[in-house]
Structure 1
């Protein structure tokens, strides 16, 4: 994505943004026509005032004054109606565009690889999807069409001024080159300033989001003052970025106002000089009306110019935001879903063939591992932290793409499966359970209309967690709040088990799902584990001894390689074996306890 930084305006980016108005062409053209009509009406009121002065007030033809006033009222009502239509439909169009753009952005983000989210700050992504897209709406509501309307208004006013009096028109344009140059400089300066503003807003959002989410850690380690000082520094940078925009505005607008006042003074001076030099009173009377009209027209000429600069600020900020949003839309970080095999009712045979993988280039996490899981078997994976255990399950569901080798399920390469059908057949229970700020029922079904409340209740009874859920206020409709803070870690795990069970997967993955739960919850989880793994291919990243003992096969990993494979008893019989040493150091203590 080409950056707009350093350019006053990026027409390529602007053209791309305007393409999102195509579904609403009727409204787009209506707003454009309204802008044209408004520019035509701009000269109506000054001209009518001129007519009123020249033709009726000075000659004291009072009978015609009422007719002119009625025409002025009609013109005013028409202008009000057009202004209403213009503002309403310009804003409506902007909201339609950002709705479509936000949906496209969110849909694109949903398809990103986990690797993208590993490297991207959540706060910055939230800023792109919410505030940046909201800023884009102002391009249509306050920027683009208002600028077009003002430019047309200036053109119409300038042409009419030239027809009415070329001398006064030239006087009106004396300071125009200066103000145009000042506007150009102002636009470039504001472009850079707004780029800095958006950066600081993104940094501020990211910092606040992370600290609020991790507030418990902040308070546990008594880091309040440190975090406050960091926030103060970031907040100061945010303030300074905005102050810079205020500084540019405080310089430009007084200059524009002064230029307008100078122009009016010149019009009055030249106008009355021409009037005094007139030979007849009739000529002088015509000049008075013209002078008054030119004063109004000059104000109309310079006021849009000042507004254009202001609206250009809005347009610039919207363009900066659009550049950032399109930057994400142009990010190619999706898992290619080119498979056409539907993974329906898999038998569950899993084969890894010389699989290599790295999160960071040239730093292999898996160094060519191979193993096979027979349908319906339970396989435990053990090893030290960082051995590559969790990486295996991430690759199985294609959250990441492997560097080399093949992963087969039922003899079919996972890349040949339709991605969504593949993931629908694999359920994962993670150690760190994530629950949404919603009811237990919705956290279990994830709003899948094919899973009814009765299905959930029956499943909960089958795996022994119905009693626990029923004891909560509201039962299955109990709101667990953000990240499930209203539940203990063990209770969250039980919800995760039930969520996996009701999805009726062909393959089940348990990623250290019992590593941080209390004794009572562990008993319930053990019962649930036996139930949901029965006759189902299961991969368990083991932490508790009971799970390992009952596994059909144990895969022992170290530093991204498989060092041993066998049953619990087989591995214990190996002299000085890796698993035997691991068992004696870690698991034997657990068994004694």
Structure 2
């Protein structure tokens, strides 16, 4: 299993936490209108919540003052009470009464108390309502962002180079698209509203605490540096485990994906225990990393709770002295204690979110790595490159002044006679030409060197050669799945680099050795080959490829439901369906890459018959290992080490006693080909 492209290491923690978070926040830019509204709602909610304890303190003062009022004789003023207490030596009590609003002999003002309590209840209700509205809008923002991110990842898949996908683990890529994006949205959902609310709450609490008592406020702030230090230490320790958790999750997804897709082979070779062991090891790694990350991040809550309790004790003791000395009312002390208790809550929230953000940043960086992966080059060359390249091709006599390829014969190790005369050098239609094509998957390690090949319109061209000769690479270059290093490929006289990929591929139909059918009916799978195909067209394509009879023999005919593995029908029948789908698109060029390798002999005969009916007027490339399947091809191209070493018909190549003869005799020796009379 591949573990990713070179240079991409998903095991590491976020290299640039700050940069990744900023980039993630930029994804929220399209939602700035809602975010501004959320900011207003959160500010109002916090303002209502922050104001409530101070107002509730007035209720405590009303009750406390009512007790004193009831116990003192009516007609005595507050000043007389204080003077009498001081004369009696009770100066502490006298100072405590100074800030109070006393009205001796009246008792508790129940009407005023009710108004205060109702107002506080209204503030808390308003705060809750505004918080709910803010959270509702934030869910919309986050889900829209997640939707956009998934859409851009899907669009990126269509733009990323095939080499990147070939060198990456499918399970890891799927984990980035699913698990990592889910983690990002959960992180945003859990942190955005809480982060904004916590910051606003901290600011509001500080303002109110300093307004009530600056000395007690400074005493409370002692816990802040301790909280920051503890939070930083825990974040530093937990961060790598969050990164390891998501890396291990990606590997686990890859193992599961391999086990499901290769279940038959795994069972055949008795590899269930090996996969089980790999799964167990990866599962343990996920469990270990998750436990460590959650354990360390879980330390934040009890540590912050301990600091909060310590601050509470300090404020309660200091506040009692202030009430006794008359510097504060009992209601203000009560309000301040509430503020101090609530002050640690946003600190705890912010500290716990640090680890959550680390986890989200790790996932975001993995997604951004994929979004930053190398993409396919532009569909068409820029004007300067086109002008310079076409001039070089004109100088070499490959194209004319109109940019159309001339009918020159291939050179460089190929067969085909003398170059055409000037009168014969005319524009060809429906022709595929390779001119001095060079290509390498890895720089410095060429796969194809100086390839020259000319295929006439309507020809069936068989490409044969040993494994690694470059057969599949050749058609991949024709399809522009990979870009050539140098040289040129022409289709119908036009350089493929001057076409868009969609334009080029719309002319080509391709059937691979590995069949692909999606979940749906047979009719839906076949009509996938042509947008807007009618039922009559689909049935005609099925008849032409001899699969109509097989389909009608199924219980539901064309409405038979298939899964993505084509369950319910054989490999050969699945292959015929994919061939019918390709034929429905009516391509100018047909590519069959080992298309008959997985079918039985009888089905292979049906495929060959279908090809014979449909190849008229269509250039066909057939890649095959079994020479018996391509004996009737118009042209057989033999490749070795990325070069065309022989061209000709089956009989001609046998007579030359060259590379093709060696392949033929080798297969004849193992009974995979039939002897041919020369």
State TM-score, norm by structure 1.
0.93
Deviations 1:468-490 (A, max 9, x none): 11222322222221222332110
Q: Please state if 1:263 is matched with 2:305.
A: no
Against the structure 1 CA distance between its residues 440 and 339, is the aligned structure 2 distance closer, same or farther, given a 3 Å change threshold? farther
Correspondence 1:36-47 to 2 at 5 A: 36-47=43-54
- Residue of 355, 379, 382 corresponding to 1:337: 379
Q: Return closer, same or farther for 1:489/1:335 CA change in 2, 3 Å cut-off.
A: farther
Rounded Cα–Cα distance in structure 2 between residues aligned with 1:7 and 1:290: 46
Instruction: State how 1:143-162 maps to structure 2 within 5 Å.
Output: 143-162=191-210
Greater displacement, 424-433 / 450-459: 450-459
Question: Residue in 2 aligned with 1:296?
Answer: 338
Match of 1:423 in 2: 505
1:581 corresponds, among 656, 662, 665, to 662
Question: Partner residue of 1:484?
Answer: 566
Cα distance in 2, alignment partners of residues 8 and 77 from structure 1:
44
Select which of 457, 471, 480 maps to 1:398. 480
Which residue does 1:548 correspond to in 2?
630
1:70 and 1:185 map into 2 onto residues whose CA distance is: 44
The CA distance in 2 between the partners of 1:6 and 1:520, in whole Å, is 56
Structure 1 residues 521 and 234 mapped into 2: Cα distance closer, same or farther (>3 Å)?
same
Q: How does 1:452-531 map to 2 (within 5 A)?
A: 452-531=534-613
- The match for 1:103 is 151
For 2:548 and 2:311, the matched residues in 1 are separated by 82
| Count of residues in correspondence between the two structures | 583
Quick check: 1:216 aligned with 2:298? Answer: no
**Alignment CA distance shift 1:473-1:542 (3 Å):** same
Structure 1 distance, partners of 2:592, 2:577, is 13
Give the secondary structure class of the aligned counterpart of 2:166. helix
Are the aligned partners of 2:135 and 2:193 in contact in 1 as well (CA < 8 Å)? no
After TM superposition, give the deviation of residue 545 of structure 1 in Å: 4.6
User: Matched residue of 2:441: which SS?
Assistant: strand
Q: What secondary structure sits across from 2:482 in the alignment? A: coil
Q: Which protein is richer in helix relative to its size?
A: 1
Alpha-carbon distance in 1 for matches of 2:664, 2:369: 50
Distance in 1 separating the partners of 2:118 and 2:15:
45
**Aligned equivalents of 1:504, 1:206: Cα separation in 2:** 37
Answering whether residue 492 of structure 2 is matched by residue 373 of structure 1, we say no
**Does the 8 Å contact 2:430/2:456 carry over to 1?**
yes
- SS of the residue 1:556 aligns to: strand
Structure 1 residue 361: Cα displacement:
2.7
Q: 2-side partners of 1:436 and 1:131: how far apart?
A: 23
Partner residue of 2:121?
73
Contact preservation (8 Å) 1:14, 1:319? yes
Q: In the aligned structure 1, how far is the partner of 2:64 from the partner of 2:543?
A: 93
1:212 deviates by 1.7
Cα contact 1:339–1:418 (8 A) shared by 2: no
Contact in 2 for aligned 1:31/1:86 (Cα 8 Å): yes
1:48 maps to which of 55, 62, 82: 55
Other structure's SS at 2:438 match: strand
Bigger shift: residues 98-107 or 207-216: 207-216
1:584: how far off?
2.9
Question: Would you identify which runs of 4 or more consecutive aligned residues in structure 1 move more than 6 Å?
Answer: 1-9
Alignment match of 1:206 (pick from 254, 275, 296): 254
CA distance in 2: counterparts of 1:442 and 1:102, whole angstroms = 25
- Contact preservation (8 Å) 1:339, 1:419: no
Residues 564, 214 of structure 1: alpha-carbon distance in 2 compared, 3 angstrom cutoff: same
Matched, 1:318 2:360: yes
In 2: Cα distance, 1:245 partner to 1:545 partner: 59
Q: 1-side partners of 2:256 and 2:650: how far apart?
A: 48
Matches of 2:319 and 2:448 in 1, distance apart? 86
Task: Quote the Cα distance in structure 2 between the aligned partners of 1:6 and 1:227.
Answer: 28
Q: Which has the greater radius of gyration?
A: 2
Question: Which residue of 19, 25, 33 maps to 2:26?
Answer: 19
- Taking the aligned partners of 2:24 and 2:527, their CA distance within structure 1 comes to 37
Work out which of the residue numbers 110, 115, 128 in structure 1 matches 2:163: 115
Distance 1:180 1:584, change over 3 A: closer
Name 1:192's counterpart in structure 2: 240
C-alpha offsets along residues 396-445 of structure 1, whole Å, 9 cap, x if unaligned? 10001112221111221111111111011101111121222222222223
Structure 2: tracts of 5 or more residues without a match = 1-6, 67-107, 387-403, 405-427
Note the residue ranges of structure 1 that are not aligned, 5 or more in a row: none
Aligned to 1:166: 214
Contact persistence 1:380–1:540 (CA under 8 A): yes
Structure 1 counterpart of 2:290? 242
Task: Name the SS for the 1:407 alignment partner.
Answer: strand
Structure 1, residues 146-187: CA drift from partner, whole Å, max 9, x if none? 212101101110111011012221221222221121122223
Counterpart of 2:422 in structure 1 is none
Q: Is 1:591 equivalent to 2:674 in the alignment?
A: yes
- Give the TM-score normalised by the residue count of structure 2: 0.82
Which segment is superposed worse, 154-163 or 1-10?
Answer: 1-10
| Cα distance in 2, alignment partners of residues 433 and 8 from structure 1 | 41
**Which deviates the most, 149-158 or 440-449?**
440-449
Q: Deviation at 1:102?
A: 1.2
C-alpha distance in structure 2 between counterparts of 1:358 and 1:44, whole Å: 70
